[in-house]
Structure 1
Amino acid sequence: MESARFVYSDDFLKYRFHDTHPFNNKRLELTLALIRSFGLLAAEHLIPPRMATEEELALVHTPEYIDIVKQADRETIPVERLQEYGLHTEDNPVFPGIYQAATLVVGGTLTAAEAVMRGHCSHALNLSGGLHHALRGKASGFCIFNDASVAIAYLRKNYDARIMYIDTDAHHGDGVQWAFYDDPHVMTVSLHETGRYLFPGTGNVYERGTDIGLGTCVNVPLDAFTEDESWLHAFEKVVPSAIKQFRPDVILSQHGCDAHRFDPLTHLSATMRIYHEIPRRIHQLAHTYTAGRWIAVGGGGYDIWRVVPRAWTLLWAELSDQRLDDQDLPTDWVQRWQTESPHPLPTRLLDPEGMFQPIPRREEISRKNAIITQQVSQYFNSDKACGQ
């Protein structure tokens, strides 16, 4: 088997709403620079994305919505019409070339999926992907098209595959969940901050799928201010049991890194430790259950200076079997970007022990999460688990 694949084009940077929007794909530039500073990216790793076709987009999205995105940056489309489809809003403002940029992101995830399923590599990564909020006929949460959903539908159509989707973004992976809510061949697992406090407000433990898909939707809503130990306990109690019962052919994982305490849009309190552990654990599950087949995408992450580059460098290092432990960040990278960063850049790959004060409600939060986790894990012992 050849080495892992890293899907990239500078054209991914064109998915950019405006200069002050929280979704800032400069994070891709920062991450790529850090990966290269560590010497982790060889020519053989890189593959360019292709554009998704309209037929591929239509595996998930309605023709009407695809057409409106195609026309969205034309001044002839009334604002009211765009807003019916979630466009020209505060979250999803229209920008020049929006259709081409969004379609390339989807094509990047399809490129990663094809590389894995055709046996060119075991693992492939598209950091521009993970736009998990886009719905069948509507933009949502900074997401125009849902690349993960399109890739899953593509795998179902072309490879008759059973897919495990694992989403560790702080925001619930609602768009992917709803796309496959009644599909017994797709399991969606989302660990996220509870929707009581955070967009999109969904992801309750009782959202378990419907009809023959009952049991193939798994949600672990974590309390606000959840820290590393409780987060990792929830992952370990739920995800291995789910994949063991479901027995997928391939894993598609979404690696939003907005659960970190520095993230400005969420209320979780994790450190870089979980972004060291998540890829390692998914990697092990892939080799245990899916013959190594693992497609990974990016996602949320709004501290683009201190968090995203480190988290996604750790992801690529694990995925490409070039594992990194805690160490100093390359001096050239820190010096290159410090002049632009609004914060002092970290100098270590992981956050130092004791860097953050414990949350005052730690025991209460951990207890609540343990109760939720136990409730979710019980589903895997029921007759209705995993659509069976």
Structure 2
Amino acid sequence: MSDADDAVESLRRAAQRRREKRERVAEIGEEELRRVADAADDVETVLSRYEERATDRDDLQGYIDFRESLSSVLESLSSEIRHADAFVEANNALTTGVTSTLSSSDFEHAREALEPVRTDAALLDSWQSARDEYKKARRAVKDRKRELREQIDRLERVRELGAADLDAPTQNLREPIEAYNDAVTEAFDEFLADAPARNVLEFLETTTAYPLVEFPALPARLRDYLESTSIGSEPVSVLVEYADYSPSKLDHYVADSQSFQSAVGTNTRLLATLSADPLTISWPPKSASALRWRARELVAVVGRFADEETVAQARTIRALTERDDYSRLRDAAVARESLTEDQRARLQRGEVEAELETKRAEVERTEAALDEYLPLDE
């Protein structure tokens, strides 16, 4: 039996138990059961509170307080309450004759007399428990259905990848992408090493207009500081180096070491980790439309710091997306990167398709169960 079948069977049993408890409650009446349960709680509270005192021969006041409390509870009950005779019998067991002495056995007899009352109270508890169990079982079926859907999506993706032409010449995409990545990385590294830091930050600020080129956001305080001080003419690497200097050593290089540390020192990690990564193309590449729009932005951005040859390579990336065989080459690249040897073997043996059929059948059974066993009215 599959996990889905287990969950469905658990829901079926939970529904049956809930139905049985609900029918039993309906036979008596929920309101009547609640009145009986409340009365049972009130009586048991009195018994538990006063048993020790009422059975103490030397505590007359305890016995009096007990009788008054019990009488108050019993007198508040309707004469037509269910199991009225059980309350009377319990009271009789706790009523003394000529003496005011009660024993533990008297309390035991009283509780025995109230057994029908406790049975009714327990019915309410078991009905609520059955409802909770039903909701939990139904939730388990929904969870299993969601898991199956996710598994089906993954299997369909494997099947889709398995249909790719694994012999396609993916180097026709890889080589120009790697050439561009190498060129833009070298150009950006040179830009970082040679350009004034304020120019680097100005460049990064312009990239905010290009959402597909995701450089980290720069604090306005850092930009303002580098634009307004001579230290902004130094390369980024120098600023990162200065940030490690002691205050006394730093005073030899900046006019105000405290302002430098407040603006630059607090952003050292951001500056030290700047790289060309946001400008490179991942492998396997994105879909043609996604890469086309990203390449358009890269052409505009890269042209702000790189030579024309590097910009031309960015244009080459954009041109790749216009190839008639782009999707075929990309699918092959994705398949090669994503499919494991085991998945390929399972595809060849037809196991993926068989598992898909099994999972879909399980989904149908969970859906049928959820349609049959509807949510409870809250």
> For the superposition of Structure 1 and Structure 2, which TM-score range results when normalised by the shorter chain?
under 0.3
Greater length-normalized contact order (CA 8 Å, ≥ 6 residues apart): 2
Structure with max Cα Rg: 2
Q: Which has the higher helix share?
A: 2
Q: Which has the higher strand share?
A: 1
**What TM-score does the superposition give when structure 2 sets the normalisation length?**
0.21
